[in-house]
Chains A and B, each alone.
Chain A
Amino acid sequence: MKKRILRILFGALILVSAIITERYFRQIGVILYLVSYFLIGGDILFNAVRNILRGSVFDENFLMALATVGAMFISEYTEGIAVMLLYQIGEMFQDYAVDKSRKSIADLMNIRPDHANVKVDDTLVKKEPDEVKVGDIIVIKAGERVPLDAIVVEGTSLMDTSALTGESIPREVEPGDEILSGCININGLITARVTREYGESTVSKILDLVENASNKKSRSEKFITRFARYYTPTVVILAVLLAFVPPLIIKDATFGDWIYRALSFLVVSCPCALVISIPLTFFSGIGGASKKGILVKGSNYFEALANTEIVVFDKTGTLTKGVFGVKEVHAKEVSEEELIKLAAYAESYSNHPISQSILKAYGKEIDKKAITDVEEISGHGVIARVNGKKIAAGNAKLMKKLGIPYFDGELAGTVVHVAVDNIYAGYILIADDIKSDSAHAIKELKNSNIKQIIMLTGDSVNVGENVGKELGLSKVYAELLPADKVEKLEELLSQTSGKGRLAYVGDGINDAPVLARADVGIAMGGLGSDAAIEAADVVIMTDEPSKVPLAINIAKKVLGISNQNIVFALGVKVLILLLSALGVTNLWVAIFGDVGVAMLAILNSFRAMIIKNK
C-alpha cells in the first residue's frame, strides 16, 4: 500500500515536470508524460492485459486502460494521466473506506470475551472461553467481560449490559441470577457456574447473527448488481458508436473530437463505485441497529420494516409485562387457600405465565405424587386428578366445554375458574400490568404513519379490550388459540397494500409460527431466549416495545440512504454521459463522476451507522 502511494506520488511529480518541460522541449515532455503514465497506471495496464488473456473483458482495469490509452493517442497527455491518477486515488479511498467500516463494525461488535478465569482446585486458571465446560466455576473480576452464560453463585455486582441491549442503566445481579456473556462486570467480584458452552452462549450467537445478516441481500443490492451487469457493456458499446459513427455521418466532425467524447463514456462506465456503496449502507445499518440492541437478521428485512403498514402485537410479554399476579380469589364451597392450592396443583406442570403466578401465590412445595392424569387443553386450561379428585382449572371456555355453570361477570384480568369433580368452586383473578413504555411505542408508531396497530391475544375479550383502549390500538382480537393467531394473521396479511408489509411483534414463546408467517417477525426480549432468536427476522434484545418504532425508523433511514446513493450516483453518471455526448464537458468532469461520486456515496453510507436516541 505504502509503496503504491509513493509510486503514484512520484508519478504525479513527474507529471508536473512534464507539463513544464513540454513548453520548451516537446519531445522530452512526451517522454516524461509516458514515464509518469506508466508509474501511475502501470499496474492497471498490467491487470487489464492479464485479465483479457484470462477471458474477462469489461473489467474496470480494462476500461480505465482503454480510456487513458485512448487519451494518450489523441495527445491529451495531461488528462489521460490525471484520469489514471484520480482513479488510483479513488480506489485507495474505497479500499480505505471499506476497511474502515469493516473495522468499525468489528469494534461495534467487540463483545467477544478474550479469556475466562476458571477455578481449578482453589486456584484461578486463565483459559480460552471455548475451552470452558458447562458446570465449571468461573470468576469475573470488576471490569471484566462475562465470558460465558452462567449463573451467579457468589457475590453481587452491577452489570453493564449495554453491549447486548443498548440499555445504559446497569443491572444488579446477586446469587441465583443469570448473567449473559458479553456483559461487563462493573464493580463487584462474582463467582458463577457456567450454564452454556461458548459456542452456544449469547455472545457467539449474537456475533454469528450480525455477521451472517448481510448474507441476505436486499432488493436494492440485487438491483444494483444486476444493473452493473448491463450498465458497463451498454456504456462501452455506446462509447464505440459515439467515437466512430458521428464522424462518418456528420460533415466537419473529426475523429479526434468524438473519440475524446467517447473516452468520457469509458471513464464513467465503471460500476464499482455504485455497487460498493449499497452493501456498505446496509452493513452500516445492521451495525448501528445492533448497537441499540436491535438485531436485524438480513438486509432484506430493512426493506420490509421500512414498508410496514400494519404492526401486530402479541399482548402477554410484549405490550404487558407478562408477570401475572393473583389479584382476587373468590371461593365457593371451599376456602380461599384451598382454591389456590387446588389450582396450583392442577397447573403445576404448565409453564404458562398464568400457572406460574398461581404457583407463586400458593407458595408452598407441590407434592407431585398427588397429581395424576394431567391433560392440558391448549387455549382452555388444565384438567388433572389431585388426590383422586378431578380438578378443572381454566377459562370460561373450559367451563362451557365441561358444561359447568360459572361466574360470568365482567372482570378486568385473566380469570381462572376452578371446578372440583365438575362442581364450580370459584375463580381466581389474575392481572398483568402494561409495560411502562408501551404507550410511548404506540404513539411513536402512529407518528411513523403505521396504518393499523393491532393486538392479538389468547386472553379474554375484557382484558384485551381494556389494554387496547388504554394504549389506543386500532383493533384487538381476543380469545385466540395459537392456531387462530396464524389464521388472523393471514387475514391481516391480505389487507396490506401491494408494497405494504406486516410486522408481528411477539416474545417467541408459543408464537413461533406467527413470527415466521409475518413479513417481518420481531421477537422481543430475545436476550437468552433461543426460540425467539431462531424464529424471528428481527430480534429486540430488551423487552421494550419502543424499540419497534426505533427499528422501523432505522430501516427507513437505511433505505433512504441507499436510495439517495442509487439516485445520486446514477443521476450524476447519466448527466455526465449526456454532457459528454454533447461535448460540453471534459475528462476532468467525467473522472469526478466516477471517483467523486463514489467517495460521496461511501461517506453517505456511513451515516447509516449513526443512530440517535429518541
Chain B
Amino acid sequence: MKKKYIIEGLCCANCASKIETAINKLSGVKEATVNFMTQKLIIDGDDELMPEIIKEAEKIVTKIEPGARLKNA
C-alpha cells in the first residue's frame, strides 16, 4: 500500500534526507521517499503494518523537524 503525505513546515533539505532514512528503517516499510522540493512523503509499506508505520513516521518527523507535521495529500 502506498500512502502520500505532505510534510508541512519542511524547510531543511538535510532534515528531509534524515527523515527519509529514518522512515526507511521502520519495519514493514518497503520504500519511503521524501521529496524536499514538493514537501511530499510517500511511504510504500505492508498493509497490516501501515497504521503503525504512519504513527512512527509522524514521531520521526516531529523529532527531526520540530514544528513540521504530516498532512494528507
Contacts and interface: CB of A to CB of B under 8 A. Distances in A.
Interface of A: 47, 50-51, 54-56, 59-60, 94-95, 98, 101-102, 105, 211, 214-215, 217, 225, 228-229, 271-272, 275-276, 278-280, 283
A102 B17 contact: no
Contacts of A276: 12-14, 36
A279 B37 contact: yes
Contact of B14 (A98, A215, A225, A280): A225
| Interface size of B as a range | 10 to 19
Interface in B1-39: 11-15, 17, 21, 33, 35-39
Contacts, number: 53
A272 B35 contact: no
A215 B13 contact: no
B36 A279 contact: yes
A101 B37 contact: yes
Given A228-B14, A276-B13, A215 B42 contact: yes
A102 B37 contact: yes
B12 to A, nearest CB: 5
Nearest to A221: B17
B17 A275 contact: yes
Contacts of B42: 215
Contacts of A272: 12-14
Contact of A56 (B11, B37, B39, B64): B64
Nearest to B62: A54
A55 B66 CA distance: 13
23 contacts: A50-B66, A51-B66, A54-B63, A55-B63, A56-B63, A56-B64, A101-B37, A102-B37, A211-B38, A211-B40, A214-B35, A215-B35, A225-B14, A228-B14, A228-B17, A229-B21, A272-B12, A272-B13, A275-B14, A276-B13, A276-B14, A279-B37, A283-B37
Contacts of A211: 38, 40
A122 to B, nearest CB: 39
A280 B38 CA distance: 10
Contacts of B35: 214-215, 279
Contacts of A60: 12, 14
A272 B10 CA distance: 13
Given A51-B66, A56-B64, A214 B38 contact: yes
B13 A279 contact: yes
Given A214-B38, A275-B17, A280-B37, 16 more contacts: A50-B66, A55-B63, A59-B64, A60-B12, A98-B11, A105-B37, A215-B35, A215-B42, A228-B14, A272-B12, A272-B14, A276-B12, A276-B14, A276-B36, A278-B13, A279-B35
A26 to B, nearest CB: 38
Contacts of A47: 66
Contacts of B17: 225, 228, 275
A51 B63 CA distance: 7
Contacts of B37: 98, 101-102, 105, 214, 279-280, 283
A275 B12 CA distance: 9
B47 to A, nearest CB: 21
A278 B13 CA distance: 9
Interface string B36-73: 11111010000000000000000000011010000000
Nearest to A46: B66
Contacts of B21: 229
A264 B63 CA distance: 28
B33 A215 contact: yes
A27 B42 CA distance: 55
A155 B11 CA distance: 49
B9 to A, nearest CB: 10
Given A50-B66, A215-B42, A95 B36 contact: no
A55 B40 CA distance: 25
Most chain B CB within a 10 A radius of its CB, from A95, A211, A225: A225
Contacts of A229: 21
Contacts of B36: 276, 279
Closest 9 CB pairs of A and B: A225-B17, A276-B13, A275-B13, A283-B37, A275-B14, A272-B14, A215-B33, A279-B36, A215-B35
A275 B17 CA distance: 9
A215 B63 contact: no
Given A60-B12, A272-B14, A215 B66 contact: no
A249 to B, nearest CB: 35
B14 A95 contact: no
Contacts of A279: 13, 35-37
B30 to A, nearest CB: 14
Nearest to A231: B14
Nearest to B36: A279
A229 B18 CA distance: 9
Given A50-B66, A51-B66, A54-B63, A271 B33 contact: no
B21 to A, nearest CB: 8
A579 B29 CA distance: 45
A377 B64 CA distance: 60
A502 B66 CA distance: 44
Contacts of B39: 102
A433 to B, nearest CB: 42
Given A56-B64, A275-B17, A215 B12 contact: no
A507 to B, nearest CB: 30
A101 B39 CA distance: 13
A456 to B, nearest CB: 34
